[in-house]
Amino acid sequence: MTLAEHPPLGRRGRTALVVVVSSLAFLLVLGWVVALWTDWLWFDEVGFRAVLTKELGTRVGLFVVATLATGLFLIGNLALAVRLRPFMPPGAGGTPAEETLDRMRFALAGRLGRWLVLPAAIVATLFGLAAQGHWQTWLLFRNAQPFGQTDPLFHRDIGYYVFELPFWQFLLGIGFTLITLALLGSTAMHVVYGGVRLRGRGDRITPGARTHLTALIAAYVGLKAMAYELDKSALVLDGNSTYDFNGAGYTDVHAVVSAKEILSYLAIVVAIAILVVSNAVLRNLVWPGVALGLLLISAFAIGGVVPWWVQTFKVNQTPTLEQPYVQDALRATRAAYGLGDMSVERYDSANTEAPATLLADQTIAGNMRLLDPAIVDESFTQLQQVRPWYDFGDKLDVDRYTVKGQTGDYVIGLRGIDYAKLTGPQANWQNKHMVYTHGYGLVAAPADRVGCGGGPYFVSGFLGTSAAGSNCSAAVDQLDITEPRIYYGEGFDEYAVVGGSTDAPIEYDRPSDEAAYYTYAGSGGVRLDSAWRKTLYSLAYMETRFLLNDRVTDDSKILYVRDPRDRVQKIAPFLTLDGDPYPAVVDGRVLWIVDGYTTSAHYPYAQRVNLRDATNDALTGTGTTAQAGQEITYLRNSVKATVDAYDGTVTLYEFDPDDPVLKAWNQAFGGIITPNASIPTALAAHFRYPEDLFKVQRDLLTRYHVADATSFAAASDQWKVPSDPAQPDKTAKQPPYYLYAQFPGDKQPQFQLVAAMTPGGNRHNLAALVTASYAGGKPRLRVLELPKDTQTAGPNQAAQLMEGQEAVRTDINIWGKNVQRGNLLSLPYADGMLYIQPLYVNNTTDPKYPQLRKILALYGTKIGYADTLEEALAQLAGAAPSSPSTVQAAVAKIQKALADLKAAQRTGDFVAQGKALADLEAAVQAFSAATSAPPAGASPSPTATPPPSG
């Protein structure tokens, strides 16, 4: 049986088909309604319903406008083609082709409206879907803000390129596609109805069809004229291959700009000529073909050959012609990425002998961070986990706190819930979603102190089971936390049903002699106070227990979207978020701080950066989130967002009041950003310079640290980010590290982000140190640049020198796979460079965790290797003495004097401070005397072979 002979569907078949299609449509609509309604309730709960209504309203508006406009345009053109059809009696042609067209016309008779509307409606719907996906482009266009700066070529405000040009380019693309489809559809209808004949004598196209089709062709060419103008504007965004920078170069300015202008005017002339000459003079389609051919030849000659000639025979022969435009790119790149106020300072690093004052130093050595947050997470887990379902994540965070009058680095982590570790009965629905609802406590340890067994010395987050007052931890919590419960945290990917009866709480709170239970009392969460809402969430999570479980009452709440980064991203979809949110204790509450960036890919002359490539390093994916591979030319840390770890409250604080992109978004969403002046002082004290911004800036500084176009063009002073010495078997970039330290030129210690740079090519010496911090609430970027002929070792050279010593090499070989290398810290001190690296060894007995076993130190060519930082620095500061007890006594006196000095500073006792300073000076002198000249037979501290300069 052939397809034509196949019997039609019977009544039952049609009914079944209708039921199946209707059921699928119902399920699709139901899923959409459930998702929308749960989103509505969630946005209402967090107080940002304006975000949902603005996004949804904009999407719907763009969809409706685009669908109607494109649909009417297509249907109008198809209907016009039918209306302009000539009279064609059946069988008039007599050829097989004409007979086929006769059959098509007969088939369309009576169904013409359906066949015109249905395809046009489908295509228009696709246009509408494409348009609603550009809702952010439209909002920026509608809320454009001036930058107050102009591009160097056309002298337009940069806001035109950032806010307006992307929308015009999108609209132009829609126009080209729409006219092309209308032209193809109209031509097809004219062919079917005889307006255009492919064969035969006489005119093969009727006047009506000719006018219609030439009008569409003229419109297409007119759009091409507009495209040439937009392409001319976009030259300041294009790449330049001569010196690998972004923006218009010599060829663009002296050839392409003129070519685009000529072609634009030529396209307008051709469009008018096509419309007029084809219908009033020649009255055929020959002229449109000739005119389009001439336009294509002109485009090739003027827009292709001439620029190629200028580039090949002028620019390539004299590349220095590009230097004025390179200078524009330097200025624009620095402005676009926040490098404009960067200070570049010379640091000679000429000293190779560690001074005797190193051990007593309080600017660098006194706050040395020994704990590596990427390693000691397992120590936190084993020593502070208490229950198997608690977890601290794959990487801890570093922040500064002031405890007993002393400010320093602290490694911190939240004791959260790892739902994957719930086993057996713990993993049933009620336990997973109603019992194990939250974590408990912020655990902190001073980064410069080691506790018992080589583990951290804990000062907060106790559950009553810690060895309080021992060498392992402080006697009491030293961070004042009034609400330690963690309902919102990283990795919280399950919803929680909380609240309900306070008389019989069921939420597991924390371990104690008798397990404590709790009932959530926070403001966060959506109330399940009606059968409708319980049904709604039953459908959303495909779970009937919302309706059937007796513990789910009208007083219950559901918490979802509990990861702080996901929570902020849902509220602020226009922001690009930093990959490493961190917790902080602010006025007794635990807040997650999430850095938000505004970005653009349309900043004139700024270098184009792939965000993922620039921010990836050895720790990406280990407790941090990799950025998307978006291309950007503008980046600002404009928002500091906070998420309350207990009630989920989200606040978006304006951090860069001058950012026009943030102003545009804030205006678009009705003022959802809290002004900068409202940032609490206690919160601002915990702001960190964001890592991903710093990584992008660091990546750009490999080329853009030079100030003049000549140096940039010569490429003789390029830098690179070194590979991570802590992972010598990998080539990933070394991560930057946070330090609380006082670098040369600073008046007091700063909490700063630091990275080392090495020269480009095969050299591995140190080229510069880049540091970033906040001064007075403003970003402060410093570059300490070493001389070009420096012999100072870079990070990987330093690691090789230290591990090349016999004692170090022997220990590492013995430890084998159990050894873990900590952060290699590069620290400028006393006109030299101090390197510090802790070595951890994984404990092979229970509890198994990495223990800090040794400290490696390098200054100049002298190496320290000891159990403690003080001993390693003592080895750097002088030769190893024949009488260790003498040096140990001197070190003990220095430590006692420092402790007395800190105590006197806390109490404000100036007399005691003076005595402590005198004792410290005497102790340093005693140390210098003990280490100045070793007796006969003494072995000097290890000395490394100086690194080569190349």
Q: Quick one: pLDDT at residue 883?
A: 47
Q: Quick one: pLDDT at residue 83?
A: 85
Identify whether the C-beta of residue 684 lies closer than 8 Å to the C-beta of residue 777: yes
What distance separates the 2 farthest-apart alpha carbons in the chain?
123
d(CA 737, CA 742): 15
Q: Quote the tokens at residue 543.
A: 């779970």
User: Whole-angstrom distance between the N-terminal and C-terminal Cα of the chain?
Assistant: 83
Residue ranges in the chain whose pLDDT is less than 50: 1-4, 466-467, 879-884, 933-940, 949-950
Question: Cα 596–599–601 angle (5° rounding)?
Answer: 165
SS3 call for 672 = coil
Q: Quote the tokens at residue 212.
A: 């219609």
Peptide bond into 749 cis (omega under 30): no
Q: In sequence order, what E strands does 710-831 have? A: 719-720, 737-741, 750-759, 768-775, 778-785, 819-821, 825-829
φ/ψ of residue 910, rounded to 5: -70, -30
d(CA 28, CA 34): 10
Q: Which helix (H) or strand (E) holds 127?
A: helix 112-132
Q: In sequence order, what E strands does 243-386 have? A: 245-246, 343-346
Alpha helices in 456-555 (DSSP H): 531-541, 545-548
Q: Quick one: pLDDT at residue 283?
A: 64
Beta bridge partners of 841: 819, 851
Q: How many residues does the chain have?
A: 950
Peptide bond into 288 cis (omega under 30): no
Percent composition of the chain: helix, strand, coil (DSSP 3-state, to 5)? 45, 20, 35
Closest residue by Cα to residue 186 from 214, 223, 221, 218: 214
Q: Quick one: pLDDT at residue 936?
A: 35
Beta bridge partners of 835: 826, 858
Identify whether the C-beta of residue 78 lies closer than 8 Å to the C-beta of residue 114: no
d(CA 654, CA 346): 34
Q: Quick one: pLDDT at residue 769?
A: 97
Q: In sequence order, what E strands does 601-633 have? A: 609-610, 631-632
> What letters, b where the CB count within 10 A reaches 16 and e where it falls short, cover 212-247?
bbbbbbbbbbbbbbbbbbebbbbbbbeebebbebbb
Beta bridge partners of 162: none
Identify whether the C-beta of residue 835 lies closer than 8 Å to the C-beta of residue 827: yes
667 to 92, 213, 662: CA distances (angstroms)? 65, 44, 8
Sign of CA dihedral 718, 723, 725, 729: negative
- Quote the pTM value: 0.89
Identify whether the C-beta of residue 826 lies closer than 8 Å to the C-beta of residue 754: yes
Identify whether the C-beta of residue 564 lies closer than 8 Å to the C-beta of residue 488: yes
Question: Cα 597–599–605 angle (5° rounding)?
Answer: 135
Identify whether the C-beta of residue 108 lies closer than 8 Å to the C-beta of residue 213: no
Mean pLDDT rounded to a whole number for the chain: 87
d(CA 60, CA 141): 17
d(CA 19, CA 544): 26
Closest residue by Cα to residue 835 from 854, 859, 853: 859
List CB contacts of 736: < 8 A, sequence separation 6 or more: 691, 694, 695, 698, 753, 754, 755
Alpha helices in 365-437 (DSSP H): 377-384, 429-430
